Structure formats: structure tokens, C-alpha cells
A = this chain, B = another copy of it.
Amino acid sequence: MIALDDLLVMTLAPDRDGAARRVVIQLMPPPFAQPWVANIRTLARARWWDGLAVVRVQDNYVAQWGDPNGEDAARAKPLPAGMRPTDKADYAVNGDAKDWQRFKDLTVPRGDLVAGYTAFEAGWPVAAEGTPDSAWRWPVHCYGMVGVGRNFAPDRGTGAELYTVIGHAPRHLDRNIALVGRVVEGIEHLSSLPRGTGALGFYEKAEQRVPITSTRLASDLPAGEQPRFEYLATDSASFLRYAEARANRRDPFFIRPAGGADICNIPVPVRRAR
């Protein structure tokens, strides 16, 4: 079961047909990205995103939301009290992890094109370098992962500007941007938005932006509205079978199993809990 403090519920304005649009994001657990995740909880509790908007949708890349005036110091919405400083040292982690065993077990996928290898740690896709007992490791920019927008380095972003991947995994962003979570429900409300026609897919007109009605931690919602999700433990035998089946599809449609899989083609199963 995913803790309610680890679920962020973002409600967008209804679509043109009046249908509700809700996006649920799972925040990343320790040891990853905790300064940014703490800031995101602070921002949600301050209702900071309410009234802001989805400002950018770039095809085969990202949908991004936050303060439309964020680049203009005179007009930017002030951040709430209690925001933590962030550091690029936290883009990757080293040393023992409570879910170390989970990290070692997986044999599919074995390799990677932009890191030593990839695996899953505590339910999340990670890339790593070094031997398993002393590896540096970091989360991977797969489809649906949520990251922290920032300006030019050494800016690390606060967590106020967020994006999600809506195209082929932009792995060049790994360790260059903090990943803080993943969309577990409703990504179609972001991935099917009209693409922005400005530079980098920013919307050129204010009326093209999609208003954010509210963003709340699930723990701050009324009990009856709290979403309950669970994920398949990545150290389980079930997950190993699932990953192997993703690498070697054996249903009648397939003629030739691939014999391997990119980690981003093995999404961790997350579902509504009953």
C-alpha cells in the first residue's frame, strides 16, 4: 500500500466537455530526492499550486506545470515558508539501502546504454554504476516519471515547477534533474493535451494553459476521497516473472521474443487497492 503522504492529487480544470481531470502522483521514497519531496509536501500543504497551470507540453518530451510568472521575479508567486535547500549531490545516492536485496536480484534488464546497469529498488527503476555493494544509483527518466524543472546549472530547482515525461525516456536528463515521483493515474490528462507552439513547447497564450484547481497530499483529503494504491513489490517472485515476461513476450501475437527489455519497458505495476 502506498502511504497517503506519498500520494499527490492534482485536479485540473474540467475539460471542454465538462469531464473531471485528476492526476495522481506517487512521491519517491528514501533514499532518493528527499529534499525536493519535502518541498513538494510543503507546497501542497500551503496550497501553493492552486490557481497555477500546466504551462508547457512538448511532444515526445514533457508536460510541465507551475507558476506561469515564475521566470519574472517581480510577478512570481512567493514560495511558502519552510522550503529546504537542494543540492545536486542528491541527484544520486550511494551506500546501503534498506531494499538492497531487491536491487540486486533482478536479472532482466541486465545492461544499459547510459549507465553501468539498471534494476529496481524499493519499487522504482534505477540506473547504477559500480558493483552492487558500492554502487552509485539514481532514478531513471521513464515515461510518466515526475521531475523538478530548473534553470541553468547550478540551479537545482525547488520542486515548485514539475514535469512528467510524455515521450521516449529522455535518459540524458538522468542525474541532471531531480526525479521526485511518477504519475500512477490520469497521465492521459497531461499526455493528450494540445502541444504548445512556443519554444520548448510552452503555450504562447495564457488562455491555452490548463488551470490547476488544486493539488493536495492524499493525507490532507477528506477520508472518503483519499485514493488508495498499491504496487507490486519489486523484490517479489511475481515481479521477477513479470519482468521476464516483458522481456520475452509469449502471447500468441508474438513471433519472436525480444530476449531483453529496456527498463522503461518494465513499468512497475501500480493499481487501485480495494
State the A residues within 8 Å of B (CB). Answer: 16, 57, 59-60, 88, 91, 109, 111-114, 142-144, 152-154, 167-172, 174-176, 187-188, 191-195, 246-247, 249, 252-262, 264-265
Contacts and interface: CB of A to CB of B under 8 A. Distances in A.
A113 B114 contact: no
Contact of A59 (B171, B176, B187): B187
Given A111-B111, A113-B261, A193 B195 contact: no
Given A60-B191, A109-B113, A188-B195, A256 B175 contact: yes
Contact of A176 (B168, B192, B256): B256
Nearest to A254: B176
Contacts of A246: 172
B168 A59 contact: no
A216 to B, nearest CB: 24
> Copy number of this protein in the oligomer?
2
B265 A153 contact: no
A259 B114 contact: yes
B169 A262 contact: yes
Contacts of A188: 59, 194-195
A193 to B, nearest CB: 6
- 7 closest A-B pairs by beta carbon, nearest first, are A114-B258, A188-B195, A114-B260, A143-B168, A113-B260, A172-B258, A152-B252
A143 B167 CA distance: 7
Contacts of A260: 113-114
Contacts of A167: 143, 167-168
A28 to B, nearest CB: 19
